[in-house]
Amino acid sequence: MYRKIFKKISFFLLVFISLTSKFVAAQQDTLQGIGEEVVVTGQHTPQQLKNSVYKVRTINAERIKMRSATDIIGVLNSEIGIRFSSDNTLGETDTKIFGLGTSRVKILIDGVPMADRDATKQSLTQIDINSIEKIEIVEGPMSVVYGTDALAGVINIITKKGAKSGNNLSVTAKVHEETIANTYSPFKGNGIHNENISIHWNNHYWRASGYVTRNDFDGYSDTAAFPAKVFKPKKQWMSGGAFGYSNNKINVWYRLDYLNEELLSANPMNTNTYKSFRQYYITNRFTHQVQADWKINETAKLNTAISFQDYKRNTKSYTLDYQNESLTPNNSPQDLNNGYWDVTPFQTWFFRSSFSWTASPKISIQPGIDVKYDKTSGQRISGVPSITDYSFFVSSEIKPTSAINIRPGFRVSKNSVYDVPPLVPSLNTKFVLNKKLDLRLSYAKGFRAPILRELYFNFFDANHSIQGNLNLKAETSNSFMATLTGNFIAKKEASFTSSITGFFNDYKNFIDLYSYTDANSNVIFSYFNRDNFKTAGITFENNIVWKNFSANIGFSYIGYYNRYQEDDVLKGDRTKFAWSPEITTNLSYKLTKLKGSVGLYYKFTGKIPTYILDANNDIVLSQRDAFHWADLTASKQIFKYFTLQGGIKNLFDVTRLSNNISSSGSAHVQGGSMNYAYGRSYFLGIIFQWNKK
């Protein structure tokens, strides 16, 4: 089976090499004119995207602005190989890269890991979209550089920091109004309502910034009975600021981000008593970070980052009586045992320091250390557990010739709770085949540590029976990737880049949630180490720029394979990989004479395979419906300082997606359905931007 997969990938690579080699031979244009993107994620020092040994994707400030998104997910949802699934009850979103999600995708803000309470990445919706300068995505395991969680890849959110020299003051204000399906009320109530104001200032060596943002989502009822809503109402207040100093030797800055989020989950009103039970999930997150870059000399640089994150999730429960308009707390002893009132705090300290030394034009080295300390408590947590992780890592770049770059590396770690692999190695290489064709080959071993929730979380009530597992082992993986990139045209007004990637990932002790029946016939959910999980696939990406037109066109074909236990008997569809295709087409055009632009962002997501228990407690393949998604946006400068934005999201009016379960006879039967989105929506916004030099 695996030979067939490697043959498919090898065939695509050989065809691509053959075609592109002929194309390159026919092209006589030399590299000129177009400024190359500079990347920082995983690099020894900032360098041009083309020179990185990693496969890195970037989303710049202009594209973020064009998407008119209200959160980061709205920017990433049209990216090839990245998928999202939401838990509407808890208001959390799972992020997947190359078919892997939850805690296997590392979320960074300016290179510092974001703390999340659960395996899903709710932090992606808790970062202010208006504070982001660009997003860098590194595909594949990055465990050597970034440690646990970085099995599938890394998403690095790089914030706006302003100029490092000169004198400048800028003020930006934004108002965004959006419908929810066919419902809308101006500025509050039905719909989405966002406002932001940001200030950036710099004076020679000093710089400062601050922002305040309000996000108000009123939820969507769909078929839910009043006052329940399928998509839960959510209100957010975000604020923060940064202060820094830089000269030609040192760049040091402090940043604080604060979030207050309130999510409302209400039950349908009892028509006999006119009462409704409702729960408020209130999140408060403080993120402090101090970073310093010290250029010791022309060949040596020291980078240090210190971060403290204080995260609290507060659950409050009430009964609302609609007859007398009273709100009564549900705080009886039984209610407290059911977790109706609970505060669960998570605190994370993080320290990282790395030293980059260029020994010669052919050799550079980067040793470093990082220490992470996580602590939690609460009614649903066993005791007051904590986890401390100490790591030492080192990587080097060896360039025997100008056409070859070899980057070996390894990480060793010590953890206070679980056994980690004694050594996590990686080997990334880049070969310049000619002026326009590059080949990247890589191998990496990855690992993921069990998080506090998986180890210690216990929650039992009428609707939940969840128990942590202290015996979990760390996940490990072996990953292989090959990427062929052609930079065919790089002229002043035109560029064309194309790449094809094949990958194969083999995971051991994969942590998953499962159910079992205890001695009292109660169904308990807990975490366990799955015996084996594999992914494989191929992606094909093309980036085209011609004058005012730009296009990003991509295709992926990703396969999944599951083996739950060593004695798991595979049969039917589970004896082979289950595959899922994906197509993206992102187009934008600048209307220079009209001082405006338009963009179309389209993605086709094929059937997504998952594995579930059927009525006979057999593990069977289930596939979620394929669907099309598209957003259309437009912007126009209307006065000197004002820009008007508008458009349509979810053009194909996607709402529910069905699951189809394979039966023993190879036919497919209809399973349950899930609410994926609330349908087509329309938005309008205005941006005010003022600068003084």
Average pLDDT, the chain: 84
* Mean pLDDT, range 353-370, rounded to an integer: 95
In this predicted model, which residue has the larger pLDDT, 13 or 645?
645
Distances in whole angstroms, Cα of residue 329 to Cα of each of 233, 326, 345: 20, 10, 22
In this predicted model, which residue has the larger pLDDT, 192 or 533?
192
pLDDT surpasses 80 at 366 = yes
**Range of weakest confidence among 72-76, 318-322, 336-340, 652-656:** 336-340
- Cα of first residue to Cα of last residue in the chain, in angstroms, is 63
* Mean pLDDT, range 370-374, rounded to an integer: 92
Q: In terms of Cα–Cα distance, which of 542, 577, 572, 573 is closest to 557? A: 577
In this predicted model, which residue has the larger pLDDT, 491 or 285?
285
In this predicted model, which residue has the larger pLDDT, 369 or 12?
369
Distance CA 466, CA 454 (A): 10
pLDDT of 4 reads 52
pLDDT of 32 reads 35
Distances in whole angstroms, Cα of residue 502 to Cα of each of 106, 139, 394, 443, 498: 21, 12, 27, 12, 14
Strands (E) in 377-474, as ranges, are 386-401, 404-415, 424-434, 437-448, 458-460, 465-467
Q: What is the pLDDT confidence band of residue 378, given thresholds at 50, 70 and 90?
A: confident
Q: What is the pLDDT confidence band of residue 99, given thresholds at 50, 70 and 90?
A: confident
pLDDT of 190 reads 93
* Mean pLDDT, range 119-129, rounded to an integer: 76
pLDDT of 22 reads 43
For residues 50 and 487, is the Cβ–Cβ distance under 8 A?
A: yes
In this predicted model, which residue has the larger pLDDT, 287 or 669?
287
pLDDT surpasses 60 at 20 = no
pLDDT surpasses 50 at 61 = yes
Q: What is the pLDDT confidence band of residue 600, given thresholds at 50, 70 and 90?
A: very high
In this predicted model, which residue has the larger pLDDT, 274 or 529?
274
Q: What is the pLDDT confidence band of residue 133, given thresholds at 50, 70 and 90?
A: very high
Q: What is the pLDDT confidence band of residue 474, given thresholds at 50, 70 and 90?
A: confident
Bridge partner list, 514: 526
Question: How many domains does the chain fold into?
Answer: 1
CATH of residue 384's domain is 2.40.170.20
Q: What is the pLDDT confidence band of residue 17, given thresholds at 50, 70 and 90?
A: very low
pLDDT surpasses 60 at 25 = no
Tokens of 255: 């940043």
Residues in Cβ contact with 603 at an 8 Å cutoff, skipping those fewer than 6 apart = 77, 78, 582, 583, 584, 585, 628, 629, 630
3-state percent helix, strand, coil for the chain, nearest multiple of 5? 10, 60, 30
Residue-wise pLDDT for 26-41, tens only, equals: 433 333 334 468 899 9
Domain limits for position 515: 2-692
Residue-wise pLDDT for 480-507, tens only, equals: 999 999 999 888 889 999 999 999 999 8
Distance CA 60, CA 299 (A): 29
pLDDT of 669 reads 44
Tokens of 207: 């710089």
pLDDT of 16 reads 41
DSSP per residue, 103-138? GGEEEEETTEEPP-SSSS-GGGGSS-GGGEEEEEEE
Give the β-pairing of 92-97 and 167-178: unpaired
Task: Report how far Cα 484 is from the mean position of its chain's Cα atoms.
Answer: 25
Residue-wise pLDDT for 174-232, tens only, equals: 999 999 988 999 998 999 999 999 999 998 899 999 999 999 999 998 889 999 998 99
Q: What is the pLDDT confidence band of residue 119, given thresholds at 50, 70 and 90?
A: low
Strands (E) in 149-218, as ranges, are 153-159, 167-178, 192-203, 206-217
pLDDT of 302 reads 96
Distance CA 678, CA 230 (A): 9
In this predicted model, which residue has the larger pLDDT, 472 or 567?
472
Percent of the chain whose pLDDT exceeds 70: 84
Tokens of 404: 């070859």
Distance CA 283, CA 664 (A): 45
Most confident of 45-49, 569-573, 662-666: 45-49
pLDDT of 11 reads 46
* Mean pLDDT, range 168-175, rounded to an integer: 94
